Amino acid sequence: MVISESKAHPTTEEVKRDVLIHHDDVGDDHDHEASQYVSFATRAYPLLEMLRAAQKNGYDVLWGV
């Protein structure tokens, strides 16, 4: 999936349902932070910047869990 394509797609009903499970009818929930939808593009940007910086400076990027 291309990041620009992800911006054209709305949040799925499944994701909305999962978020709403943790909040009441008016969105209040004292055990969780307020719900916030984060797009794929927003999440991918820091990773892409890190990869570009590593490539520019000749560094390796290690991925581990």
Residue 42's pLDDT is 85
Residue 24's pLDDT is 61
Residue 26's pLDDT is 63
Residue 48's pLDDT is 92
Q: Which residues of the chain have pLDDT under 50?
A: none
Residue 51's pLDDT is 94
Residue 57's pLDDT is 96
The residues near 37 (Cβ < 8 Å, ≥ 6 apart) are 11, 15, 19
Q: Model pTM?
A: 0.45
Residue 43's pLDDT is 86
Q: What is the CA radius of gyration of the chain?
A: 17
